[in-house]
Structure 1
Amino acid sequence: MLINGREIAAGIAEDLQIKIAELKQHEIIAKLAVALVGKDLGSEKYVEQKVKLGLRLGIKVAVSRLENSAKTESLISLVNWWNKDPAIHGIIIQRPIPLKIESNELNNLPARKKDVDGFHPQSLFDPPIVLAVMKILENIYRLSHDNNDLLKWLAEKKILIIGRGETAGRPIAKYLTKNKLPFTVAHSGTGDLKQLTLTSDIIISAVGKPNIVRHDMISEKTVLIGVGLHPENDHLATDYNQEEIAGKALFYTPVPGGVGPVNVAMLMENVIIAAEKSIQR
């Protein structure tokens, strides 16, 4: 069964409208600043979604574009300026970044109270991609349960994360560990990936390459969540052939309209939370 991420995102947006109205009573309009470096297709698409949802919700989204040839100092200076601006509640540096800067330094650039992407080592926020995966799993869980025991349900499942990149696989693994949920991580050095996928209840594929998960690698009970994206004929595709998977997986997320819209909605929720915290300060 296809999981409609757009419907899930619409439900999140509806809830956010209430919080946005409450912020306006305090004369606060939530604002997100985005640094976009270069012309990566995936980055362009995601930033476009953020701008569109921001407009619909009434959240200001300011995008600053830097060329591939930009100096690292330009990005640092830009983010430092945003850190000092009280009107900006959230900051994201859209990955990947084609500049020469260490991952550690990049993660530490946004102030922790504004790091709505959750990369800062002491960030106040969980990464939106992690929250999106959990929200999708919650929706699957609620199709057959009427209680709030999502974590207990997940603890009984065999969860497999494919990929350990810093933007998806690693933060998802970190979140599951924090919540004491057992899981397995597979990567390029993993021997028998097919054996792992066939014995897993939930597969979170976060690689960004074609045919990582094939139809013969899953069962009729598999929940397959596609986080990884790669360019294919001027559009984005996920780690599996959706037509082949559709007839077999118990649940799966498509592209477009799967994890992406939920990811953006959860980002906006983090921005709203950051704006709410600014009132408390």
Structure 2
Amino acid sequence: MNAIVLDGRPVARDLRLRARDELHDLIAQAGSTPSLSILSVGDDPSAHAYERAIIKAARGVGVEVESVHLPGAASQDDLDRAIDSLNDDRSVHGVIILQPLPSHLDRVEVSDRLDPLKDVDGITTFNAGRLFHDDRDVLAPSTPAGGMALLKHYDIDIAGRHAVVVGRSPVVGKPMSLMLLAANATVSVCHSRTSDLANFTKQADILISAAGRPGTIQKHMVKPGAIVVDFGVNFIDGSMIGDVNYDPVRSIAGAITPVPGGTGRVTTIVLVRNTIKAMRLQARDAATFEREFVSTHYRKGS
């Protein structure tokens, strides 16, 4: 048995058409175009590859996009000032801070310095809380949201099924588990300290790998007919591969996402749609949100 390939291209194409319609309506109402800023530090090749993909997706829809790059030696203060500048710039509606950051920078401090209404990748604790409470106005992390969009596109039933998520990062694994719970799956989360990983993965009707480690999922770890979604982005000898040993697993799974060409294609267009949504939320909630923002530690100088 060869699995159905869950190609991200038709999913991204459909979402792109929706984004163009949303953009057209927003411009008609607001009289201006949403703008996305991509903030990066250092020269990580995976971050630069993602940056290029975001720029292509944004321009393909008609969203304005700019890159703000800091050298790898940039200090915490340098990065804080760059974030503050983007927070204060009313012409900027969305900001994504590319990962990974250099090890000397505090990821949590960086995340929560960002204005949550410009946080189009859902990294602030404010948006994490909104996601936890199933708030429809949340700016959800684009990678897991893209995974959910892909499952929906292919009419994969989630409710009542056992989903196993391998990985617990705040940007993919944890939010993906919350989204699956909201879709009425029974969810297990595995991680680097899980004993006998295969014992859990073999129980999965829907197996999600977000470990960031090549070869995490092997054929013997997969239940026959399972849906396998691979969020892994790993580079070996200049080639991108996922977490899943693709060809052997494809021979036993019911459906599988390729890497590249699977979830990544959907992630970027979800990020663009989040930018459109962010501009709409900012226009609607400006007065209310300013009070919330001041009353928490998100404001600069806190």
TM-score for both structures, normalised by structure 2: 0.85
State the match for 1:205 in structure 2: 209
1:47 aligns to what SS in structure 2? Answer: helix
Aligned residue among 52, 59, 82 for 1:78:
82
Matched, 1:14 2:17: yes
Q: Residue in 2 aligned with 1:36?
A: 40
Distance 1:170 1:277 in 2: 24
Whether the 8 Å contact between 2:160 and 2:184 is mirrored in structure 1 is: no
Q: For 1:109, which of 101, 113, 118 is the aligned residue?
A: 113
Q: CA deviation at 1:112?
A: 0.9
Q: What is the distance in 2 between the residues matched to 1:8 and 1:274?
A: 22
Q: What CA distance in whole angstroms lies between the structure 2 residues aligned with 1:122 and 1:55?
A: 28
**3-state DSSP class of the match of 2:125?**
coil
Please report how far the alpha carbon of residue 210 of structure 1 lies from its aligned counterpart in structure 2 after TM superposition. 1.2
Corresponding position of 1:136: 150
Change (3 A) 1:273 1:204: same
Tell me, yes or no, if the aligned pair for 1:38 and 1:66 is still in contact at 8 Å: yes
Q: Which residue of 1 aligns with 2:173?
A: 169
The one-letter code sitting in structure 2 at the alignment partner of 1:274 is A
Of 223, 226, 238, the match for 1:222 = 226
2-structure distance, mates of 1:259, 1:172: 13
| CA-based RMSD | 1.6
Deviation at 1:279, TM superposition (A): 3.4
Distance in 2 (CA, whole Å) between partners of 1:196 and 1:39 is 37
- Paired AA for residue 272 in structure 2: M
SS, match of residue 257 in structure 1: coil
2:197 to 193, 197, 216: 193
Alignment identity in percent?
25
- How many residues of Structure 1 are paired with residues of Structure 2 in the alignment? 271
Q: Which amino acid aligns with 2:179?
A: Y
Question: Does the alignment pair 1:252 with 2:256?
Answer: yes
Partner of 1:60: 64
Distance in 2 of aligned mates of 1:200 and 1:118: 27
Secondary structure at the aligned position of 1:224 is classed as strand
Cα deviation digits, residues 191-237 of structure 1 (max 9, x gap): 22222122210011001111111112213311000112211111321
Q: Is the 8 A contact 2:161 2:185 kept in 1?
A: no
Q: Which residue of 2 aligns with 1:276?
A: 280
**Aligned residue in 1 for 2:294:** none
For residues 31-84 of structure 1, the C-alpha deviation after alignment (integer angstroms, 9 at most, x for no partner) is: 011111112222111111000111111111111111211112111101101111
Is the Cα–Cα contact under 8 Å of residues 68 and 99 in structure 1 kept in the other structure? no
Paired with 1:138 and 1:240, the residues of 2 have a C-alpha distance of 21
Give the letter aligned to residue 161 of structure 2: K
TM-score normalised by structure 1 residue count = 0.91
CA contact (8 A) 1:207 1:229 kept: no
Deviation at 1:170, TM superposition (A): 1.8
Q: What is the CA distance between 1:180 and its match in structure 2?
A: 5.6
SS in 2 for 1:209: coil
Contact 1:3 1:258 in 2 (8 A): yes
